[in-house]
Chains A and B, each alone.
Chain A
Amino acid sequence: MKFPVLRVYTVIYLIFLYAPIVLLPVFAFNSSKVIAFPLESFSTRWFAEMLTDDLLFRAAKATLIIAVSSSILATCLGVLAARASTRFRFPGKGGVMGLIMLPMILPDIIVAMSLLVVLLAIGINLSLLTVILGHVLICTPFSVAILTSAFQSLDNSLEEAAYDLGETPLSTFRLVILPLVMPGIVSSLLICFTISIDEYVIASFLGGNQTVLSVYIFGQFRFPAKVPAMLALGTILVALSIALLTIAEYFRRRGIAKTGAKDTGGFL
């Protein structure tokens, strides 16, 4: 029999990708302070220790505020840009859309540095607000990409039918367009939320004395004694991500079933 090269490659690839994540809960529930095999015994002490950490709660709260605000803001901007790019033709459209999408490939460090210089120069204090500003900047391109495909799949005559039946452009948007692009909006919110949560560079540059979760976790890794508690936190974050994506996928499939469209795979 031929050696199944591709099959073995695929298995190795997946192990490389996911083994570290699987190790997270393994060590989080291990009673030993040392992150190494053999395991000692099952314990939830690191979770308990994590819960006593006041700084962690403040960082988590800051992260949540930033992620929620920037995903909502970026998605709003994304709706406007996607609508403009799919519905209208205007001079310089290619250039404008290109500039909107640019932060997607621009290194975050450059965005962070330049924003920091500008903010300091015009005398704005670093706070959650400045982090939100940076995150909106890097999230918007993703939102535009997701929503453009949602708007593109809309039949133009649906909009015309609504005008024809007496609705204004605004009420047409509310009654017809918005419900039909809702799955795209939910996807956009989730992607932006995820991007914002694990973003490090901008958060550490523009956060001032406000520490967010990613910066906090990185900081804690300097103290070996704190590492098991961070693994416990990581375990919770992984569980939350899986829950979030499951919910999103559920709503996406329900939306597709409701409008009778063909399931083209989504982002999952």
Chain B
Amino acid sequence: MTFSDEKPTMIEFKDVQKYYGDYHALRGITATIKAGEFFSLLGPSGCGKTTLLRTIAGFEGISSGAVLIDGKSMAEVPANLRPTNMVFQSYAIFPHLTVEQNVGFGLRKDPRSAEEKQKAVDEALGMVGLKGYGKRAAHALSGGQRQRVALARALILKPKVLLLDEPLSALDKKIREQMQMELIKLQREVGITFVLVTHDQEEALVMSDRIAVMFEGEIAQLADPETLYRKPANRKVAEFIGTMNFLPATIVAEDAGKITVDAEGFGRIAIDATQVSRANPGDGPSVGFRPETLTLLFDGQTASDQESNATVSEVVYYGDMTYYDVKLAGSDTPLRLSMRNTPGRPVLDIGAPTRVAWSAGAMVLFR
């Protein structure tokens, strides 16, 4: 999931600052979003991600800096004249109109004939899988269907940028996952730049070409999903994206390309200098690694790289996966690891002695 750098820039934030009275909501946002990209703004509630999205739409002014869309400054452009359309968290379907009146709402000033507009509406409804729903009352639709109407209503205007404000948060899990897939497909089909706001890290990882992780009005890291997951820029990002184990460590030696640390239970680990991220201010160094980078070794299996003795301290069975908490010999810190449940593989009990395989290549040093 890499994204080519040659694509032209669609949205540019230049040192965007936003104050609500004394509250500093956006603290110097500088970033670019490329044309045709599926871009996500990810962060906990109150981090400024929705505010940033609304500055693109024009619903929110900025205190200083600049927002450019397709090279043009948006400073003097009101929301109704911007080349963006938005899918709202509440969908904002007009309850007094039918489905097709909703979808065709933005075509009111379109010079095309009524028949052509009707054709465009039907096409848009077909695109989101709502063919034949045109005459229905909008308020009689289910959540997922409203979502689709909101999408069709925004996409029919062929905007340069489609803004999505937590569009899936109100849907239940099954429909949400289905809509995620459909949105990805739709985005590839229409080639429009999508900017998604979400607090759900999994959703962001699944859907995006690139993600900006935001905390307290700042972008903590802007990267593709794999980089975010494999090499988070700092401990806060690491904790927000997925699950990560952390073990306190002491730095023993520092060579040109390698940093040797002594981590509780693992002993000496030589970590590549490229795998170093920032610890939280005031914290000592620690090594971090994802649950799937630790593997339980069953009888007869040997590690390809390193192995350590451990004891199972917690078992959580998920059907396809089992999550174990293990404690390494000589350490009291439970480490989370995940194992795929393949046929014939036993699920271990709490207290069972076991061995875990690990590799220094999958570890990140936070210092």
State the A residues within 8 Å of B (CB). 155, 157-158, 160-168, 175-176, 179-180, 258-261
Contact = CB atoms under 8 A, between A and B. Distances in A.
> Interface on chain A toward B: helix, strand, loop, or mixed SS?
helix
Contacts of A168: 80
Given A157-B90, A160-B86, A258-B137, A166 B96 contact: no
B79 interface: yes
B50 to A, nearest CB: 12
B59 interface: yes
B258 interface: no
Contacts of B85: 164-165
A160 B59 contact: yes
- Among A162, A164, A167, A179, the most chain B Cβ lie within 10 Å of the Cβ of A164
B89 A157 contact: yes
Contacts of B88: 157, 160-161
A259 B88 CA distance: 19
B94 A176 contact: yes
Given A166-B80, A166-B81, A259-B95, 7 more contacts: A160-B92, A161-B92, A163-B79, A164-B84, A164-B154, A165-B105, A166-B157
A179 B101 CA distance: 14
Nearest to A168: B80
Given A165-B85, A165-B105, A158 B80 contact: no
7 contacts: A162-B94, A163-B59, A164-B85, A166-B106, A166-B108, A180-B96, A259-B139
Nearest to A165: B106
A155 B57 CA distance: 18
Interface string B93-109: 01110000000011011
Given A155-B90, A259-B139, A260-B140, A164 B80 contact: yes
Contacts of A164: 57, 79-80, 84-86, 154
B153 interface: yes
A258 B96 CA distance: 6
Contacts of B81: 166
B213 to A, nearest CB: 25
Interface string B38-55: 000000000000000000
Q: Looking at chain B, what size class is its interface with the partner chain?
A: 20 to 34
Contacts of A162: 94, 105
Contact of B79 (A160, A179, A259, A261): A160
A180 B92 CA distance: 13
The 4 tightest CB contacts between A and B, nearest first, are A260-B139, A165-B106, A161-B92, A259-B95
A201 to B, nearest CB: 40
B265 to A, nearest CB: 51
Contacts of A161: 86, 88, 92, 94, 153
Contacts of B86: 160-161, 164
Nearest to A167: B80
A164 B154 CA distance: 9
Given A155-B90, A160-B88, A167-B108, A179 B96 contact: yes
B58, B81, B88, B140 — most chain A CB neighbours (10 Å): B88
B252 to A, nearest CB: 56
Nearest to B109: A166
Contacts of A167: 80, 108
A258 to B, nearest CB: 6
